[in-house]
Structure 1
């Protein structure tokens, strides 16, 4: 089971992920309030009000410098995704790909790229944005359950 991630080659990323990958100066991200950044991100969840416990979990995940500290991971995408792209055809494990059709951060072309290059994959796009598991919990759970039962 895989979901949202910038995997297409060439890279196809939306904002703010594209900025995090390509901005030369990371100091604004280090100075940014993690709470403000996470609050803005989860504020983009449509059609679903996060329970307080879930909201607090999102916030706790990025306390201190955790947000800035994860930037090297996404900044490695330009070098690492072409390598991954070459390896994908060799992976024979069944893979369910699930992404939001309206994801502006990680456009669905990334999921389509995976489906094209993984020999044993199944792609489902659901009518949601970046936070597919939050915005479309029922549809998301249906896809996961069907895949789990089939595999």
Structure 2
């Protein structure tokens, strides 16, 4: 039976990223993973809530992402919080490194998913941290949209 790979299947999402950061730009990058890490991702057990990407020795790395051990891998298992290399084109990488070195800019993973070919990709957001006031405004706006939906449903 053939699998439907036409839509993106999310393995992990960082829903808090858009609340904590103003996401200015998004970029898709590949990940260097071991077999047991891919199996864990396919089960949807990974967490990228505290993760971030940074530059080290001219390469981009995903740090603090949690991929729990895959039970069936036995002694061939991976380390859950190891740094994972990101695969980007040289031009994209140099542009990102330049932007990260500016004050207040962070590279935040928004989601990890499998593309149409079944390859794991990470969506990175170039974000600037929000202040408390900005977070309150976001929350007020979200509550108002929810209230508008309720009012419209009651009238019709």
Q: Do the two structures share a fold, i.e. TM-score over 0.5?
A: no
TM-score, with length taken from structure 2: 0.22
What is the TM-score normalised by the length of structure 1? 0.23
